[in-house]
Structure 1
Amino acid sequence: MNFQNVLHYVPSLIAAELPAEVAHYKMAPLERMEVMKNIDSKVSNPRVAAVMMLLYPKNEIAHLVLIVRNAYNGVHSSQIAFPGGKYEKDDGNYAYTALRETHEEIGVLPGKIEVIKAFTPTYIPPSNFIVHPFWEFVKKKFIFGQIQER
Structure 2
Amino acid sequence: MKRALLISVLSLLAATGLRAQNVALGERVPELKSVEWRDGAAPAAAPLTYIEFFHSSNSEALRSLDRLKETVEALGGRLRAVVVMRERTERALAMVAPYRSGRIGVAYDADGRIFDAFGVTYVSFGVLTDAKNRALWMGNTLRITPDFIEQTVQ
Per the shorter chain, which TM-score range? under 0.3
Please report the TM-score for the alignment, with normalisation by the length of structure 1. 0.26
**Greater relative CO (CA pairs within 8 A, separation 6+):** 2
Give the structure with the larger strand fraction. Answer: 1
